[in-house]
Amino acid sequence: MSLDFRLVDPLIRTALDEDLPWGDVTTESLIDPNQENELAILLKQKGVIAGLSLMERVFKTLDASMSWNPLQQDGDYLEKGTILAKVRGNAQALLKAERLALNFAQRLSGIATLTHQFVQAARQGSDSVRVVDTRKTTPGLRYLEKYAVTMGGGFNHRYSLSDSILIKDNHLAMIQSAGRSLSKAILTARQKVPHTIKIEVEVDRLDQIPEVLEAGVDAILLDNMSNEELIEAVALIDGKAAAEASGGVTLERIAGIAATGVDIISVGALTHSGPRSTVSGDSQRSALADFSMV
Amino acid sequence: MSLDFRLVDPLIRTALDEDLPWGDVTTESLIDPNQENELAILLKQKGVIAGLSLMERVFKTLDASMSWNPLQQDGDYLEKGTILAKVRGNAQALLKAERLALNFAQRLSGIATLTHQFVQAARQGSDSVRVVDTRKTTPGLRYLEKYAVTMGGGFNHRYSLSDSILIKDNHLAMIQSAGRSLSKAILTARQKVPHTIKIEVEVDRLDQIPEVLEAGVDAILLDNMSNEELIEAVALIDGKAAAEASGGVTLERIAGIAATGVDIISVGALTHSGPRSTVSGDSQRSALADFSMV
Amino acid sequence: MSLDFRLVDPLIRTALDEDLPWGDVTTESLIDPNQENELAILLKQKGVIAGLSLMERVFKTLDASMSWNPLQQDGDYLEKGTILAKVRGNAQALLKAERLALNFAQRLSGIATLTHQFVQAARQGSDSVRVVDTRKTTPGLRYLEKYAVTMGGGFNHRYSLSDSILIKDNHLAMIQSAGRSLSKAILTARQKVPHTIKIEVEVDRLDQIPEVLEAGVDAILLDNMSNEELIEAVALIDGKAAAEASGGVTLERIAGIAATGVDIISVGALTHSGPRSTVSGDSQRSALADFSMV
Amino acid sequence: MSLDFRLVDPLIRTALDEDLPWGDVTTESLIDPNQENELAILLKQKGVIAGLSLMERVFKTLDASMSWNPLQQDGDYLEKGTILAKVRGNAQALLKAERLALNFAQRLSGIATLTHQFVQAARQGSDSVRVVDTRKTTPGLRYLEKYAVTMGGGFNHRYSLSDSILIKDNHLAMIQSAGRSLSKAILTARQKVPHTIKIEVEVDRLDQIPEVLEAGVDAILLDNMSNEELIEAVALIDGKAAAEASGGVTLERIAGIAATGVDIISVGALTHSGPRSTVSGDSQRSALADFSMV
Amino acid sequence: MSLDFRLVDPLIRTALDEDLPWGDVTTESLIDPNQENELAILLKQKGVIAGLSLMERVFKTLDASMSWNPLQQDGDYLEKGTILAKVRGNAQALLKAERLALNFAQRLSGIATLTHQFVQAARQGSDSVRVVDTRKTTPGLRYLEKYAVTMGGGFNHRYSLSDSILIKDNHLAMIQSAGRSLSKAILTARQKVPHTIKIEVEVDRLDQIPEVLEAGVDAILLDNMSNEELIEAVALIDGKAAAEASGGVTLERIAGIAATGVDIISVGALTHSGPRSTVSGDSQRSALADFSMV
Amino acid sequence: MSLDFRLVDPLIRTALDEDLPWGDVTTESLIDPNQENELAILLKQKGVIAGLSLMERVFKTLDASMSWNPLQQDGDYLEKGTILAKVRGNAQALLKAERLALNFAQRLSGIATLTHQFVQAARQGSDSVRVVDTRKTTPGLRYLEKYAVTMGGGFNHRYSLSDSILIKDNHLAMIQSAGRSLSKAILTARQKVPHTIKIEVEVDRLDQIPEVLEAGVDAILLDNMSNEELIEAVALIDGKAAAEASGGVTLERIAGIAATGVDIISVGALTHSGPRSTVSGDSQRSALADFSMV
């Protein structure tokens, strides 16, 4: 999968507008407008890289004639010190673009790296379980963050509220406050929505599973269950729907969850805590990557 | 300081477009369009809250007649379990808005809480040092993230490349690659830019300080120096410019840095690692706040 | 389902910009800016109405203080001469808005009426078959046109290329040109996409069905088959996937197709030939509805 | 006249956003991102083609390096089976673009073909009469639809409410409700508007013509008159203004109307019922053109 | 005529974005967010006011609850010291809005005042001559500037290149460079454009007039002619087309030009030298550069 | 400094939309779409040119293949009759672009020329004084107009309300209406805003200067003072802050003001009366209206 820049360019534009509302007073007063330089992009911490083509796009948005030489590719797991790419062109444009390019790439690489860690850990418990993301993404960056999850070896859950039914706790509470049952609600929903839409339902008790299966669903989200409950839930579901574990999934717990036999494990932390995975105790931690002049 | 929604509404709009490209198939097929409910917003982890008015704005964007009852205010340090606000209105609109409202507020509150922790820690070393942010913000969210820093008791550094001169390592490298000196460059810059613009210069060696002071600057960024070097740097600067420490600033180190006498400590982690501060080992960590039906 | 004006307002805005780039020279030079009038909206041809709230929105975009009194509602099947609504307000605003309001409502009502006719005809052959739309919609109006289909008693197919897999003839041709088989392609696709995504495959020969079923799909689109072939296809599929008939579906043929036992009949004409359904031989045919002063 | 893509690109963008909100799950999971193919665009029904350069623009918006080889040109009357163009390039881009390209071209070609039919029919009655469009266009597509009318041999009426005065029935009703006369209103209008603006007035009775001519107008719209009335109207007008027939114009009636001596015949059906012209009884009717792999 | 804010709001938005990219550091750090004040708007120089409702819109864009009390109205000729309006509301919003409100109103009032002066002067030579504007407007502000011209008692010429034909010197030069004659070109144009479009032709020699009249035009622009030539031109035209004088029109010359009997005098200075309103001087000074064909 | 077209392209787009909402009816009906011509751009009045690259951008926006041959450069002082540039390309595109290109360049060159005159005049009184602009710019054109000031040898003041503190008369009035002192307000402001922000305060009496200096500011704006007062103010300030003279600055007065020893002279007329450049007269005339607190 490659990035569709039609979806990304407005974000680059917004970000340039906020960082360069009317020019770069430092660069424009210091650097000869005709000077050229080359920057190397160094990885300062090991991990999975994501966003190389996005960095290229940022540089070329500032100066279309910039030359970009990528030495690695998105999804690669790389060691600290690796040179990711070299970029050569107008010195003013390089200086104006570097921070934004890093702000994008560090965030995406953080997500990819954390996803990779969860996937590796999950493999200890299951060869086939999917680690998937959630809708807990940064407002405006969902497309990029879901891309980063796939670069780290994860899978995407639904993209938005429009493309799949997921009946969650607050839906259920509101349905019941109106005096209706869950199974009736599921049937109603299926009669209304396009035949191309799947239905998933969140349950937090085992005794809800038979009713839900009866009503007919494509997947069941098992929320905040213990591993023992998950094992029982998988047995109850028995292949009649996909089983998704969710809630409280940590790097420490995920192998155990995977071993329960669920098909899918969703991890909100992939996107809402992404950068964390890539920072450690040392002082450079925020700089997953940085530029240095060649 | 209150949020200027002229600057925020386009972001809310973008976020709604990505989460609701053509409707909420779950809610619209399940919930009566005329049903009303009330949700309470609970804090699931202690910390500083930021973004209450933004949550209100999200709900009212979905349904202008929504009633919003805030029980706390931005900048408050609150205990787990506190009810932040109640919101009552059309049930479909509540369900469509809740995730986006949380995505915003959790991020901002994470930043405010982490800033608060850095400020508290810095107070151990100095009563007056400013903890400030950087340009390492999420693309598109700078205005909101800088607001969150102030809610946590921090201060803002420059907003963008347009409003202040900061001569950094790559500028210096490029100036020197063109055969010019730093002090000459500073003088040139001052002659060109508006008289309303301040000049700050990054140094990473003590011996650069006299040259920089001689050229005349408003602030000096002391990059990645040890506390001993910082003490010496403060003595060399001697009040002729503001002294800013930067690089490798952790919660553990900040009191020591503050005690060196610097005026300002900039911490990139405030914004690029914000959410991290608010997550702990338990399974609910991602939910700084959550909704539950009243 | 009610219209989400967040998705519609940009279209109203675009349409006003094209019809009123700098004012209405007729109205502004003739009508007193403070004059008020009332218009009644009359149905000039029997059919299903769709777009009443959209008309209201157009009028209120021109003048927020306009009073709108709807006498019917979307989805109603109404006789020629029925008054749909009355609208009262500033005379200049009424005159500026009327054509655009009609342009929207006539198109949507045409689609709703044609859909209604197809659904009525299909009921002769089956009580449960779904009549669904396609992606053959007017560029920019998909959301509205799919809404109109539901007002006519039809159902929607997938909304876009993003939310559901539909492997069509050109996909197959390209897959085969690359030396791969359809069943292999289906398996690959399922391994890549979110677990929330359904897979449908277009076939035009009966002998493709077993392979497709074997690979595992949620629905099979039976393209341009005779009724005899459809009957055989339904038998082959045997409930293991949804059966969708498509291609060459006319008002005359649809009862026969419905009687074959397929679950779904998709009709491109619903949206690409919508207005046709509502025009007859007389001279007023284009005016499904029109305004007259009260 | 060639299309000005400055006016069309926003529409292409909107249409891509609605059809590809975050990617094409089918194509991206099935087709090698580096595969290339060629498609031929075949006319499936005889008629006048319009929108070839627009199709090219759609393909190149998806992939700027696409090669486009047009074999016909807009305005040509072509037989079923004609190859309109060939397009070669990235297979994923071809598949993503084809439906949108067809949605545009089928609509425009439908309008061009229907216009051609009206023009041909009108030629039976008059060598010089103009067949013109109206403001009954699809919201957002006016520029394209008016272009298509000219490709079919028709002429445009005014573009918008801003560029020409046309006093219609509802204007007259409102003028009279305010106690003013039509001739007074015409004089007032002429005194106010730029000298570059023409004035046309709609009448539905012959006895209105002398008053209107007296007041001085550039054109008179003769609404829903019989051919006999039109002949009398033309005599009354006697070249002092352009005579435009409007209302109830069908393919059957237009020759007769043309023979009355009017200068202009306006036909709302050109744009609001466009696609109809190109559909016939067979099952392929909706596909004015279609793609097939070369 | 009142302003249509649909056309103005984007400009207010753009202007606020450029003046308040992320807040007003002065006001927000000095003024209590809940403080209220009232401002009076005083005229500091006599003249015609234009833009009062625009000022109101600017204030209300900053704070919808602002109260606006207009004491005069657009088009009034007022003495220095007159209070135009009072505005009361949030003190921060008042301070943020005042400069932008003035920037708009001063420009529009300058144009209205200058137009008024030209109209008054022209009345010395003719009771009926129209003083009209040109397309020499500020990019982005045409709608507002043409409004201001009418407030000063002037009339508008065509709005844009789309709504009226005006064949100017460079058109003629290019037509002739292609070996065609002006009269042939006029005929061709009339055959192509909508019947609602008028045709005006620029001539700079008397001997061109008969040819142009022969070809049939609605107006003739008499460019840079002496009063003697204008008198002769008016005689030649003899009411068969409108006669427009243009070029070198100053406050001193305009009465003489008006007295020649032309119908229209166009004055580029109305908009391109608007603020000058209150300035006198020669007429060509604003045309720093112009095109002429090689 | 070169123009950043990211900031200018939206303005070109807006301006094309207002001048060419749906085409150029003159050019498109007269000129062969394949014809090519060349235009030379002549200076019709001596002065400083600004906006050459902007003209190029306008032409290339209409036709990317246009060839542009600049013969002079921005900031040059040139004699009447100088050829500024030649542009060759599609004749239709040349004709569509010329007016907009001129509208931009004439305005910018007017500003540059007037700035040049003020700077030359100021040099009679001081070798080092800066002539600076204000926020009295055309809404939407600030970036371009501030660029033009620098091309004329002037300097920019702050760009917007966001980047520098300037406490003006209305701020002071509102502060005092709330019972607070100026010096207290200055201290409060400094404690709140980023350390990168300078503080300037407007005073209109000499006795305010010691209090302001005491509070600590970076610059003092001396409003509407006589030359004698300015001399005294400079002595009082004594280098502890920058001294800026403002108000009533004319070409006649500026040398005298410069000779008082102030560092900066701000001239609103540079941008709000730009075209005047070539016009002389008194300095206050452009301020038709202003605010004063009730």
pLDDT in tens, F2-40: 899 999 999 999 999 999 999 999 999 999 999 999 999
Tell me, what's the pLDDT at F273? 66
- Residue showing tokens 């940022």: A58
Within a 13 Å sphere around the CA of F122, how many CA atoms are in the beta-carbon half? 29
Q: How far is CA C257 from CA C67, C152, C213, F83, in A?
A: 47, 19, 22, 75
The string of pLDDT tens digits covering residues D48-99 is 999 999 999 999 999 999 999 999 999 999 999 999 999 999 999 999 999 9
Residue C289 DSSP SS3: strand
Residue C274 confidence class, pLDDT cut points 50, 70, 90: very low
CATH architecture of the domain formed by E120-272: Alpha-Beta Barrel (3.20)
| Smallest CA–CA distance from D28 into chain A, residue | A1
- Residue showing tokens 């597509």: D141
- Residue B280: CB atoms within 10 A of its CB come to 8
Determine the distance in angstroms separating the CA of E195 from the nearest CA of chain D, rounded to an integer.
7
Which is more confident, D275 or B276?
D275
- Residue F65: CB atoms within 10 A of its CB come to 9
Residue F248 confidence class, pLDDT cut points 50, 70, 90: confident
Q: Among residues 139-158 of chain A, which lie with CB inside 8 Å of chain B?
A: 139-143
Positions of B annotated as catalytic residues are 99, 136, 168, 202, 223
Tell me, what's the pLDDT at B44? 86
Chain F contacts of A20, Cβ < 8 Å?
4, 6
Tell me, what's the pLDDT at A291? 66
3-state secondary structure chain D: CCCCHHHHHHHHHHHHHHHCCCCCHHHHHHCCCCCEEEEEEEECCCEECCCHHHHHHHHHHHCCCCEEEECCCCCCEECCCCEEEEEEEEHHHHHHHHHHHHHHHHHHHHHHHHHHHHHHHHHCCCCCCEEECCCCCCCCCHHHHHHHHHHCCCECCCCCCCCCEEECHHHHHHHHHCCCCHHHHHHHHHHHCCCCECEEEEECCHHHHHHHHHHCCCEEEEECCCHHHHHHHHHHHCCCCEEEEECCCCCCCHHHHHCCCCCEEECCHHHHCHHHHHCCCCCCCCCCEEEEEC
CA distance D108 to B175: 58
| Smallest CA–CA distance from D168 into chain C, residue | C26
D2 in F contact zone (CB under 8 Å): yes
Chain F contacts of A13, Cβ < 8 Å?
6
**pLDDT over threshold 70, residue D280:** no
CA distance B142 to F145: 27
**pLDDT over threshold 70, residue F274:** no
Cβ within 8 Å of residue E246, ≥6 positions away: E202, E221, E222, E223, E224, E265, E266
D41 in C contact zone (CB under 8 Å): no
Within a 13 Å sphere around the CA of E24, how many CA atoms are in the beta-carbon half? 23
Tell me, what's the pLDDT at F45? 86
What is the enclosing helix (H) or strand (E) of B89? Answer: strand B83-90
F79 in E contact zone (CB under 8 Å): no
Task: Map out the domains of chain B as residue ranges.
Answer: 5-115+275-284, 120-272
D136 is in an annotated binding site: yes
The string of pLDDT tens digits covering residues C33-67 is 999 999 999 998 899 999 999 999 999 999 999 99
Mutate to test the interface with F, among B135, B162, B196, B198 (most CBs of F within 10 A): B196
CATH architecture of the domain formed by B5-115+275-284: Alpha-Beta Complex (3.90)
Residue A2 phi/psi, 5-degree rounding, is -110, 155
**pLDDT over threshold 90, residue A186:** yes
| Smallest CA–CA distance from D198 into chain E, residue | E196
Q: Measure the CA dihedral E57/E61/E62/E65, to 10°.
A: 80
Chain F contacts of C22, Cβ < 8 Å?
18
**pLDDT over threshold 80, residue D287:** no
Residue B273 confidence class, pLDDT cut points 50, 70, 90: low
Determine the distance in angstroms separating the CA of B242 from the nearest CA of chain A, rounded to an integer.
18
A256 is in an annotated binding site: no
CB pairs under 8 A between B and E: 16
The reply to whether residue A155 touches residue C195, judged by beta carbons under 8 angstroms, is yes
Chain D contacts of E159, Cβ < 8 Å?
162-163, 194
The reply to whether residue A156 touches residue C219, judged by beta carbons under 8 angstroms, is no
The string of pLDDT tens digits covering residues A63-93 is 999 999 999 999 999 999 999 999 999 999 9
| Smallest CA–CA distance from B181 into chain A, residue | A30
Q: Mean pLDDT score of chain B, rounded to an integer?
A: 92
Q: What angle do CA B20, B26, B29 make, to 5 degrees?
A: 115
- Reading the block at residue A270, the tokens are 């992939």
CB-CB: which of F13, F22, F33 is closest to D143?
F22
Mutate to test the interface with F, among A22, A59, A65 (most CBs of F within 10 A): A22
CA distance F50 to F76: 8
CB-CB: which of A163, A197, A198 is closest to C162?
A163
Task: Report the neighbours of B using a cutoff of 3 or more CB pairs below 8 angstroms.
Answer: A, C, D, E, F
Q: Measure the CA dihedral C267/C268/C273/C278, to 10°.
A: 20
- Residue D281: CB atoms within 10 A of its CB come to 8
E21 in A contact zone (CB under 8 Å): yes
Residue C272 confidence class, pLDDT cut points 50, 70, 90: confident
- Reading the block at residue B172, the tokens are 């210096």
F159 in A contact zone (CB under 8 Å): yes
Supply the DSSP string of C134-193, one letter for each residue.
-S---TT-HHHHHHHHHHTT-B---SSTTSSEEE-HHHHHHHHHTT--HHHHHHHHHHHS
List helix spans (H) across chain E. Answer: 5-19, 25-30, 52-62, 91-123, 142-151, 169-177, 182-192, 209-215, 227-237, 254-258, 269-272
The reply to whether residue A20 touches residue F4, judged by beta carbons under 8 angstroms, is yes
Chain E contacts of A21, Cβ < 8 Å?
21
Q: Do the first three CATH levels of C5-115+275-284 and C120-272 match, i.e. the same topology?
A: no
Tell me, what's the pLDDT at F277? 28
C15 in E contact zone (CB under 8 Å): no
- Would you tell me the crossing angle of helices D142-151 and D5-19 to the nearest 10 degrees? 120
The string of pLDDT tens digits covering residues D168-212 is 999 999 999 999 999 999 999 999 999 999 999 999 999 999 999
| Smallest CA–CA distance from C14 into chain E, residue | E6
Tell me, what's the pLDDT at D289? 58
Determine the distance in angstroms separating the CA of A101 from the nearest CA of chain E, rounded to an integer.
22
The string of pLDDT tens digits covering residues C175-210 is 999 999 999 999 999 999 999 999 999 999 999 999
E223 among known catalytic residues: yes
Residue D2 confidence class, pLDDT cut points 50, 70, 90: confident
Q: Mean pLDDT score of chain A, rounded to an integer?
A: 92
**pLDDT over threshold 90, residue F189:** yes
Task: Report the neighbours of D using a cutoff of 3 or more CB pairs below 8 angstroms.
Answer: A, B, C, E, F
Task: Report the neighbours of C using a cutoff of 3 or more CB pairs below 8 angstroms.
Answer: A, B, D, E, F
Determine the distance in angstroms separating the CA of C23 from the nearest CA of chain A, rounded to an integer.
31
CB-CB: which of F6, F146, F159 is closest to A16?
F6
Tell me, what's the pLDDT at D26? 97
Tell me, what's the pLDDT at A276? 35
pLDDT (mean) for C17-38: 96
Q: Mean pLDDT score of chain D, rounded to an integer?
A: 92
CA distance B174 to A90: 11
The string of pLDDT tens digits covering residues A123-163 is 999 999 999 999 999 999 999 999 999 999 999 999 999 99
Mean pLDDT check: name the lowest of A90-104, F256-270, F272-286.
Answer: F272-286
A276 among known catalytic residues: no
Tell me, what's the pLDDT at B45? 86
Residue F15 DSSP SS3: helix
Q: What is the pLDDT tens value at each position of chain E, 294 positions in all?
A: 789 999 999 999 999 999 999 999 999 999 999 999 999 998 888 999 999 999 999 999 999 999 999 999 999 999 998 999 999 999 999 999 999 999 999 999 999 999 999 999 999 999 999 999 999 999 999 999 999 999 999 999 999 999 999 999 999 999 998 999 999 999 999 999 999 999 999 999 999 999 999 999 999 999 999 999 999 999 999 999 999 999 989 999 999 999 999 999 999 999 986 443 222 222 222 222 344 445
Tell me, what's the pLDDT at D275? 45
**pLDDT over threshold 70, residue B291:** no
Determine the distance in angstroms separating the CA of D106 from the nearest CA of chain A, rounded to an integer.
25
CA distance A138 to A133: 12
Q: Which residues of C56-95 are buried (b: 16+ CB within 10 A; e: fewer)?
A: bbbbbbbbeebebeeebebbbebeeebbbbebbbbbbbbb
E56 among known catalytic residues: no
3-state secondary structure D161-193: CCCCEEECHHHHHHHHHCCCCHHHHHHHHHHHC
Which residues of B are annotated binding-site positions for substrate? 99, 134-136, 158, 168, 202, 223, 246-248, 267-269
